[in-house]
Amino acid sequence: MTLVRDVMTPGPRCVDEHKTLVEAAQLLESLDVGALPIRGDDNRLIGMLTDRDIVVKCLARGGDPATTRAGELAEGVPVTVGADDDVFAVLETMKRHKVRRVPIVEGHDLVGIVSQADIAVALAPQLAGETVAEISE
């Protein structure tokens, strides 16, 4: 059995909920990633922020990324999977919620992220392809 921790990218960087979207975008750029977990004041995960969120939920609506805070774009309860879950739990979560990245937790601590790219590298090509196709529907 392959565990989530075997395929995840460990130690993800987070953006603090009080950081502006400009600061978040700069962090996205410096890390060369398209998404960051949003960390609340209690250091717990409160959501995910993507480069697309910044464009669609702020810029396209006439918002100011210099004053809009990352935490303002956190919606609902974050979808997570446990580090010791079977890797198929991540696949099912990605399919069910139509997400390309899943934060990985141990208790309340964020310990990793699994992306479509991680799945593509770790699993059989057919299984990875089916997952990507279902997420994109």
Q: What is the DSSP letter of 69?
A: B
- Reported as a single tens digit per residue, the pLDDT across 18-41 is 999 999 999 999 999 999 999 999
DSSP for 73-128?
G--SSPP-EETTSBHHHHHHHHHHHT-SEEEEEETTEEEEEEEHHHHHHHS-HHHH
Containing structural domain, residue 74: 4-136
Helix (H) or strand (E) holding 46: strand 45-50
How many structural domains comprise the chain? 1
Backbone angles phi, psi at 59, to 5 degrees: -60, -50
- Tell me the C-alpha distance between 32 and 27, whole Å: 8
Identify which of 51, 48, 43 has the alpha carbon closest to the alpha carbon of residue 21: 51
- Reported as a single tens digit per residue, the pLDDT across 39-83 is 999 989 999 999 999 999 999 999 999 999 999 999 878 999 999
CATH of residue 94's domain is 3.10.580.10
Instruction: pLDDT band for 133, please (50, 70, 90 cuts).
Output: low
Kindly tell me the sign of the dihedral angle through the C-alpha atoms of 121, 125, 131, 132: positive
Check residue 76 and give its pLDDT.
Answer: 79
